[in-house]
C-alpha cells in the first residue's frame, strides 16, 4: 500500500434506483481508490454498474429515483457525498471532469465549439473574453485539432466523430482537473481513431500528471493503457490488481472467463464462452452473483465472498471462495 | 471449390441534393467498383471503418439494395437481372443477420411468429408442421422451447441475436450475410454467438459474408479477409497471410491500431493521422494517400489497380508495381 493518501477513495458505495416495485441496487458496496497520476480501469459488461459508479463520483445521478444508500467518496480528503450542491458544482469540471461515451450527443448542436470550451473556462476562472478565446485555442491545439483558428467557430455537426471526442477532451481538461473520468471514451469510434484518442489521453496524463478513471469493456484497451484494473460484475468488484498481474494470472472465474472468451492471437479452436447471461439487477442470485454461471461453483458460493488480498505484500485482490485458503494465511 | 457468390464491378452511388430547390447534386460513391468472389462453404471476412461501404456491399450482394451498376452472380445466376417471381424463389437461399438485435425484431410479434413467418410466406411449412419446425430451429441455435410465446423485449441481447439467427436459418439458406452480428454484444456473449455461427457453418456448410470492424473476430472466424476503404476493396488475402504479411499500408495500420490484450506487448503505435475523408469528396488518385505513411507523388494523381501478389492475395497499391 502506498503511504501517501490516494487522490480518490471510495468506501462501501451503494447506489440504488427506485423502481415501481422495489429499489434496485446498481452499485453494491464498492470500494476502490485512484492514486495520483495513475490510470485505473474499471472493466465489466453492460449493466455491471461501472457507469453508475462513475456518475456517483460526480453526483450526476438524478435523485430521485437514484439514492446513495451508504458509503463515502473521499476526494482530496473531503467527502463529495456531503458537499452542498454549490460546492459540488465547483468540483465538477474543475477538479474532476468527465468524458462521455457518445461524442455525437454530448455536445450542444446550437453552440460553436469555441463557446462550449469557453463555457468551462468562464465557469471556473474569472477570465476576459479575449483571454478565454486564447486559452480555447491553446486547448484545441493541445488536443491536436488541425487548424484550430477555423474549428473554434464551427458547430459540432461540421466535425467528425474523432474530432468531436477531441473537443470533449478539450472541455474536460480546460481547468486542469486532477481526476479525469473517461466513460467508454472510444466505444463509438473506429479503431484507427481510437488509437489516436488513447494516445492523446496518455500523453495528456504524462504532461499534467492527472489521474484517469477509465471505464471500458475492451480488455485490449485496459492491457495497453491502464496501470491498475478493477473488474466489476453485477454491482460488485470481483477482482482488483495491477494490469500485469491481472493479465498474467487472473484469479476470479469471471475474469478468467472474460479473457478466455476473447479470440486468441494464434488459435482457431472454439472460444471458451461463459454460459448464460448477466442476471437482472432486481433478481440477483443469493451470495456471489456469478455462481449460477461459474463452473467452479460450490455450496459455499450461496454466501457473498469478501474482497481480500491474496498474498501479503500483494495488491491483487479477489472476491471468491476458491482462494479462501490463501486468504486465511495472509490473515 | 466452386464459386458461390461472384460480384463484378459493383457500384452504388447515392445522390444528395444540395437544397430543396437546388439543382446541384453531390454523389456519394458508397461502393465504387468492387469485384469479389466467395467460394462454396467459405467464410469471407469484410473489414473496414464506419462509412467505408461494407454494409451497402453486403446488402447489395443479396439484392436488398439495388446497385447503380455491376453484376452479382449467385451460383452463376445474375440476381440483378431476375424478374420478381424468380427472385422471390431465390430469396430463401440468401439471408441476412443484422447488427442490432434490439431493432431488427418486431416488438409486437412472438418468437414463434418471428421465426415462423418466413417459412409460411415461402411455403416451406404449413400449419400442421410449423410448430415442430420452429422447435427444431430453436434447438439448433440454443433457445429453449419455452421462449416460443414470448416477445423480444423479454430477452437479453445475446438471446435476441439467437432469435435473429434462427429467423435467418429457418429457410435453410446457402448464403448468409452477417452484418456486424456481435458488435452490439458483451464479450462473454459475443463468444457464445461466434461459436454458434462457427458450428452452424461447419455443420451445414453455409457460405458466409462476415462484415465486422473487429479484426480479432474476423481473424478468428473467417477463411479469407477483404479490407475496404472508402468504397473500394484495397486488399484481399487468406486470413492467416493477411495477419502475417499485410501488404497495403491501410491494412497494416488497422492491424497496428487494434490494442493487444497482452500488456507486455506494446503496440508499435504507427497510428494513422487524420480522419477518414468524406465520401462526398474523396481524395484524388489513391483514396488513402492523405493518411498513408508511405504515399508517393504518383499516389496523388494515379488510381492504383488491383495487383495479384500471390495466389489469392490481391492488393490495390502503387508500392507493388
Contacts of A270 in chain B (CB under 8 A): 195, 198
Write down the pLDDT at residue B267: 61
Nearest beta carbon to residue A243 from set B195, B219, B263: B263
Write down the pLDDT at residue B274: 76
Rounded to whole angstroms, how far apart are CA atoms B81 and B83?
Answer: 7
Write down the pLDDT at residue A267: 61
Contacts of A221 in chain B (CB under 8 A): 259
Rounded to whole angstroms, how far apart are CA atoms B94 and B62?
Answer: 6
Are the beta carbons of A160 and B195 separated by less than 8 Å? no
Question: Which chain A residue shows the shortest CA-CA distance from B212?
Answer: A190
Among A240-244, A267-271, B207-211, B218-222, the least confident range: A267-271
pLDDT, one tens digit per residue, over B171-199 is 999 999 999 888 878 888 888 889 888 88
Percent of the residues in chain A that have a pLDDT greater than 70, as a whole number: 95
Rounded to whole angstroms, how far apart are CA atoms A177 and A165?
Answer: 17
Residues near B121 by Cβ (< 8 Å), separated by ≥ 6? Answer: none
Q: How far is B10 from chain A (nearest CA, A)?
A: 25
Write down the pLDDT at residue B191: 87
Q: Which domains, from first to last, does chain A contain?
A: 8-95+177-264+274-279 (3.40.50.300), 107-176 (no CATH)
pLDDT > 70? residue A152: yes
Residues near B309 by Cβ (< 8 Å), separated by ≥ 6? Answer: B247, B315, B320
Write down the pLDDT at residue A329: 65
Q: How far is CA B246 from CA B28, B40, B255, B267, B310, in A?
A: 28, 25, 9, 16, 12
Q: Across chain B, what does the average pLDDT equal?
A: 88
Q: How far is B189 from chain A (nearest CA, A)?
A: 7
Write down the pLDDT at residue B251: 92
**In angstroms, how far is the first alpha carbon of chain B from the final one?**
30
ipTM for the complex? 0.78
Q: What is the mean pLDDT of residues A192-210?
A: 85
Write down the pLDDT at residue A2: 47
Rounded to whole angstroms, how far apart are CA atoms A135 and A64?
Answer: 38
Write down the pLDDT at residue B229: 92
Q: How far is CA A199 from CA A186, A190, A222, in A?
A: 11, 14, 13
Confidence of residue B227 (pLDDT cuts 50, 70, 90): very high
Specify whether the CB–CB gap between A87 and A169 falls below 8 A. Answer: no
pLDDT > 50? residue B3: yes
Q: How far is B84 from chain A (nearest CA, A)?
A: 38
Task: Output the furthest CA–CA distance in chain B (Å, rounded).
Answer: 69
What are the cell numbers at B232?
473500394
Confidence of residue A282 (pLDDT cuts 50, 70, 90): confident
Confidence of residue B275 (pLDDT cuts 50, 70, 90): confident
Write down the pLDDT at residue B270: 59
Are the beta carbons of B195 and A162 separated by less than 8 Å? no
Interface check for A262 against chain B (CB to CB < 8 A): the answer is yes
Question: Which chain A residue shows the shortest CA-CA distance from B250?
Answer: A192
pLDDT > 50? residue A171: yes
Rounded to whole angstroms, how far apart are CA atoms B90 and B107?
Answer: 27
Are the beta carbons of B266 and A224 separated by less than 8 Å? yes
More confident residue, A63 or A312: A63
Write down the pLDDT at residue B5: 93
Interface check for A104 against chain B (CB to CB < 8 A): the answer is no
pLDDT > 90? residue B126: no
Among A110-114, B58-62, B141-145, the least confident range: B141-145
Write down the pLDDT at residue B234: 94
What are the cell numbers at B238?
487468406
Write down the pLDDT at residue B123: 87
Residue A213: its H or E element: strand A211-216
Three-state secondary structure readout of A182-203: EECCCCCCCHHHHHHHHHHHHH
Specify whether the CB–CB gap between B156 and A277 falls below 8 A. Answer: yes
Contacts of A274 in chain B (CB under 8 A): 188, 191-192
Tell me which residue has cell 504515399.
B295
Q: What is the mean pLDDT of residues A299-320?
A: 81
Rounded to whole angstroms, how far apart are CA atoms A280 and A47?
Answer: 9
CA nearest neighbour of A143 among A174, A166, A113, A112? A166
Are the beta carbons of B264 and A244 separated by less than 8 Å? yes
Rounded to whole angstroms, how far apart are CA atoms A118 and A128?
Answer: 10
Selected for mutation to probe chain A from B191, B229, B256, B265 (highest A CB count within 10 Å) is B191
Size of interface A-B (CB pairs under 8 A): 115
What are the cell numbers at B140?
439448433
Rounded to whole angstroms, how far apart are CA atoms A32 and A158?
Answer: 40
pLDDT, one tens digit per residue, over B7-59 is 999 999 988 877 777 777 788 888 999 999 999 999 999 998 888 889 999 99
Q: Which domains, from first to last, does chain B contain?
A: 3-320 (3.40.50.300)
Q: What is the mean pLDDT of residues A151-159?
A: 89
Are the beta carbons of A219 and B261 separated by less than 8 Å? yes
**In angstroms, how far is the first alpha carbon of chain A from the final one?**
16
Nearest beta carbon to residue A45 from set B188, B261, B275: B188
Q: How far is CA B198 from CA A263, B110, B204, B209, in A?
A: 13, 27, 10, 13
Interface check for A217 against chain B (CB to CB < 8 A): the answer is yes
Q: What is the mean pLDDT of residues A218-234?
A: 91
Q: How far is CA A236 from CA A25, A46, A305, A318, B222, in A?
A: 10, 13, 11, 11, 37
Percent of the residues in chain B that have a pLDDT greater than 70, as a whole number: 97
Q: What is the mean pLDDT of residues A226-237?
A: 92
Instruction: Classify each residue of A174-188 as buried b or exposed e, where b means 16 or more C-beta atoms within 10 Å of its C-beta.
Output: bbebbbbbbbbbbeb
What are the cell numbers at B271?
497510428
Q: Which of residues 304-323 of A touch B (CB under 8 A)?
A: none
pLDDT > 70? residue A53: yes
Confidence of residue A241 (pLDDT cuts 50, 70, 90): very high
pLDDT, one tens digit per residue, over A110-128 is 999 999 999 888 888 888 8
Write down the pLDDT at residue A1: 44
Top mean pLDDT of A182-196, A230-244, B10-24 is at A230-244
- Cα A256 to chain center, whole Å? 21
Contacts of B258 in chain A (CB under 8 A): 191, 220
Question: What 8-state DSSP symbol labels residue A285?
Answer: P
Q: How far is CA A312 from CA A1, A233, A250, A290, A317, in A?
A: 11, 25, 17, 26, 11
Confidence of residue A327 (pLDDT cuts 50, 70, 90): low
Are the beta carbons of A199 and B271 separated by less than 8 Å? yes
* Chain B: residues touching A (Cβ < 8 Å): 49-50, 156, 158-159, 186-192, 194-195, 198, 213, 215-217, 219-221, 253-254, 256-264, 266-267, 269, 271-276
Q: What is the mean pLDDT of residues B278-297?
A: 87
Nearest beta carbon to residue B275 from set A193, A244, A272: A193
Amino acid at each position: 500500500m502506498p503511504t501517501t493518501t490516494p487522490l480518490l477513495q471510495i468506501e462501501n458505495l451503494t447506489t440504488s434506483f427506485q423502481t415501481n416495485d422495489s429499489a434496485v441496487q446498481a452499485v453494491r458496496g464498492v470500494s476502490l481508490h485512484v492514486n495520483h497520476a495513475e490510470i485505473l480501469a474499471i472493466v465489466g459488461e453492460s449493466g455491471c454498474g461501472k457507469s453508475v459508479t462513475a456518475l456517483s463520483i460526480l453526483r450526476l445521478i438524478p435523485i430521485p429515483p437514484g439514492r446513495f444508500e451508504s458509503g463515502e467518496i473521499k476526494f482530496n480528503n473531503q467527502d463529495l457525498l456531503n458537499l452542498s450542491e454549490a460546492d459540488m458544482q465547483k468540483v465538477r469540471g474543475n477538479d474532476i471532469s468527465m468524458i462521455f461515451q457518445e461524442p455525437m450527443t454530448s455536445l450542444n448542436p446550437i453552440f460553436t465549439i469555441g463557446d462550449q470550451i469557453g463555457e468551462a473556462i468562464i465557469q471556473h476562472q474569472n477570465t476576459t473574453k479575449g483571454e478565454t478565446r486564447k486559452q480555447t485555442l491553446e486547448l484545441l491545439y493541445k488536443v491536436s485539432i488541425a487548424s484550430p483558428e477555423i474549428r473554434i467557430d464551427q458547430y459540432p455537426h461540421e466535425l467528425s466523430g474523432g474530432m468531436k471526442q477531441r473537443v470533449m477532451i478539450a472541455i474536460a481538461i480546460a481547468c486542469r482537473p486532477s481526476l479525469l473520468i473517461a466513460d467508454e471514451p472510444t466505444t463509438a469510434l473506429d479503431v484507427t481513431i481510437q488509437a489516436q484518442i488513447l494516445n492523446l489521453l496518455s500523453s495528456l496524463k504524462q504532461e499534467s500528471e492527472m489521474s484517469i478513471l477509465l471505464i471500458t469493456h475492451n480488455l485490449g484497451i485496459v492491457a495497453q493503457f491502464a496501470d491498475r484494473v478493477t473488474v466489476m460484475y453485477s454491482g460488485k468488484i470481483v477482482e482488483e490488481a495491477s494490469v500485469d498481474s491481472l493479465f498474467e494470472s487472473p484469479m476470479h472465474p469471471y475474469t478468467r472467463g472474460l479473457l478466455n472468451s476473447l479470440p486468441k492471437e494464434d488459435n482457431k479452436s472454439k472460444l471458451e464462452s461463459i454460459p448464460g447471461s448477466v442476471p437482472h439487477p432486481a433478481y440477483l442470485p443469493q451470495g456471489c452473483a456469478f455462481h449460477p454461471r461459474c463452473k467452479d461453483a460450490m455450496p459455499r458460493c450461496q454466501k457473498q465472498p469478501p474482497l481480500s488480498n491474496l498474498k501479503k505484500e500483494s495488491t491483487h485482490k479477489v472476491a471468491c471462495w476458491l482462494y479462501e485458503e490463501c486468504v486465511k494465511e495472509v490473515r | 471449390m466452386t464459386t458461390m457468390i461472384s460480384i463484378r464491378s459493383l457500384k452504388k452511388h447515392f445522390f444528395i441534393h444540395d437544397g430543396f430547390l437546388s439543382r446541384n447534386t453531390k454523389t456519394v460513391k458508397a461502393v465504387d467498383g468492387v469485384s469479389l468472389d466467395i467460394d462454396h462453404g467459405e467464410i469471407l471476412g469484410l473489414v473496414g471503418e464506419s462509412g467505408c461501404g461494407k454494409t451497402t456491399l453486403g446488402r447489395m450482394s443479396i439484392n436488398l439494395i439495388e446497385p447503380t451498376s455491376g453484376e452479382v452472380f449467385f451460383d452463376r445466376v445474375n440476381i440483378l437481372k431476375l424478374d420478381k417471381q424468380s427472385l422471390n424463389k431465390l430469396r430463401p437461399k440468401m439471408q441476412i443477420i443484422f447488427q442490432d438485435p434490439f431493432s431488427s425484431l418486431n416488438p409486437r410479434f412472438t418468437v414463434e411468429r418471428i421465426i415462423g413467418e418466413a417459412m409460411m410466406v415461402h411455403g416451406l411449412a404449413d400449419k400442421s408442421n410449423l410448430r415442430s419446425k420452429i422447435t427444431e430451429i430453436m434447438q439448433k441455435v440454443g433457445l429453449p422451447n419455452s421462449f416460443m410465446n414470448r416477445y423480444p423485449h423479454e430477452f437479453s441481447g445475446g438471446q435476441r441475436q439467437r432469435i435473429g439467427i434462427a429467423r435467418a436459418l429457418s429457410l435453410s439458406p446457402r448464403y448468409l450475410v452477417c452484418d456486424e452480428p456481435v458488435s452490439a454484444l458483451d464479450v462473454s456473449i459475443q463468444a457464445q454467438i461466434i461459436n454458434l455461427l462457427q458450428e452452424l457453418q461447419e455443420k451445414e456448410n453455409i457460405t458466409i459474408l462476415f462484415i465486422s470492424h473487429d479484426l480479432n473476430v474476423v481473424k478468428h472466424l473467417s477463411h479469407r479477409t477483404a479490407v475496404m476503404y472508402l468504397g473500394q476493396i484495397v486488399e484481399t488475402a487468406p486470413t492467416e497471410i493477411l495477419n502475417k504479411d499485410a501488404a497495403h499500408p491501410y491494412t497494416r495500420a488497422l492491424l497496428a491500431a487494434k490494442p493487444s490484450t497482452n500488456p507486455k506487448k506494446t503496440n508499435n503505435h504507427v497510428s494513422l493521422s487524420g480522419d477518414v475523408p468524406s465520401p462526398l469528396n474523396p481524395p484524388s488518385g489513391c483514396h488513402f494517400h492523405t493518411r498513408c505513411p508511405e504515399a508517393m507523388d504518383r499516389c496523388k494523381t494515379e488510381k492504383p489497380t488491383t495487383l495479384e501478389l500471390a495466389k489469392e492475395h490481391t492488393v490495390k497499391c502503387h508500392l507493388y508495381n
